[in-house]
Structure 1
Amino acid sequence: MPAPLGDIAHLGHVELLTPDLEGSVWFFTEILGLTETRREGDSVHLRTFDDYELTSIVVTGHTTSGLRRTALRASSPEALQRRVDAIEAAGGTGRWTEGSAGTGPMYLTTDPDGHEIGLYYESEWYEAPEHLAPGLKNQPQAKPRQGVGVRRLDHVNFLAADVEPNADWVEHTLGARPTEQIRLDTGRIAARWLTFNNKSYDLVYTEDWSGSSGRLHHIAFATDTREDILRAADLCLDNGVHIETGPHKHAIQQTFFLYVYEPGGNRIELCNPLTRLVLAPDWPLITWTQAERAKGQAWGLQTIESFHTHGTPPLDS
């Protein structure tokens, strides 16, 4: 029996690991336009201007790159406890920990592939200091004067040794619903997109062609417009940030995109999915075939090989 849609409200924040802490912070603040809110040891807390919570991403200095944690906010204390009970009833394990990045107590668990997932409800809302106060009271922070000015943390794409059991776990224990997927000629699911709300997706699982577990494909930040993504491409070009592919439009989910590598080696997507919502309560799972995906992206751009092979941490780390 699927979990109730809505027990998980949305993606809260992520913790990203980097071997180049200052380079990564430079990228997120100067290129993307995030605001640094505090530092704790080797961790730097950053936020987008329109995320209402205190933290959008924690960037932590480490020996390698990758994703340490994905945090999801529950819709109520009762919803949080229901999801904890569902995880443990399904044979999963977890532990409670003190809140971090502006959250209250957090339940830490892992998906079948080993990605760490944190669930919480209590959250600190951001209060802008005077110099960052917005002109409109229904916006948490003034728009940044530098960089792209991304609006929010949008989604996380996990690499997984086997997509289907991970996507099923998110659906049946956390209450997401799948919106689109890729099915290979062998019948194997190569990727699946899932949402917790009316966005078309919050989490994605993509097959790790190396067979490895627990790695990251990318995290994504949403922009106001497609033009912001074109500007981002110029900013990255001017500042030596590696552009992997794009700007272009995905066929799946119809997202306008740009993929770059931040200085720590993690893939970052700039995306503009803001106009596409899944409002139908009975939305059918859209399945793309191997032949359909071989046609490339929406306007015919072929998927670059590194998109299938690059993940973090790197395999030799």
Structure 2
Amino acid sequence: MPTALVIGGSRFIGRHAVTEFRDAGYDVAVFNRGRHENPFAEDDAVSHVEGDRKDRTDLRTAQLSVDPDVVVDMVAYQPADVEVAVDVFADVDAYVYVSSGSAYGAETIPKREDETALEPCSAEQATDDSYASYGARKAEGDRVVSSAAEDGVNAMSLRPPVVYGPHDYTERMDYWLGRVLEHDRVVVPGDGTNLWHRAYVEDVASALRVVAEEGAPGEAYNAGDRRLVTLGEMVEVIADAAGTDVEVVTAGARELAAGDLALGDFPLYREYPHVLDTGKLHALGWESTPVEEAMARTVEEHRESDRDGREEGPDREAEERVLGVLDTF
């Protein structure tokens, strides 16, 4: 039976990755610092190795104790993290680095793995930990993977865009879920046609396994919903999944100013479309969950959670002022 080591694995994408590999017949080990509740504490099929992924000795200890066939690296946020990992795990059948759609440095539609330029990364950015350098650091991690593959390491990258679904601690989607479940009118910034590619978390988990099993060393693979929906359409998909009716009320910059709001104050708003070509991953046999089904699962788990997403976007009082202005037109 093959063994998978998930670096990270207790919170969002990593949690689903553990489930994906376990259900596919792998022995699974989770390597992390143990700072978050372990959802697999009672699962005999999942072991836990405690350590700091930035400590080479800890990584080496995990490699020796688990002897993994596959390594999935969820929490490599700086290029140096990837450099150490591809060295420590140089002999595994597959090392899969979780990169990001943010690694792309050109605004093209769609963004393709082998065509679209990546973000450059300066020495200063490489050691930074701010959101501003996130894409650059992920891009440099991709370049480390490519270089390692040239040296014979079976290393690959997965590039998802914004990920949503059960157990999403970022609460970006929870903001919109809460608006739909609590109100019959939902303010959507712009004209509602904003398009930011998203990926359902269980699909990202299955993509990690597919890339580990079928991917080619040195290659990167985009992952994302096969059917894209605009921000306005997403609100309607949520309403359908929740079994409720809402009115999508679009508001431009002038109308939002009535509530001292700006377009960028709303989560998942992006002025220019962000679209990834997922054909390369699809060619490996990967499939995504229909958006309606993915959102139904997301709504169900949201209702059972204590997340409300209110801190991720405007407060309702400000939105009510915007709605008041729009109602006078």
> TM-score, normalised on structure 1?
0.27
> TM-score, normalised on structure 2?
0.26
Higher strand share: 1
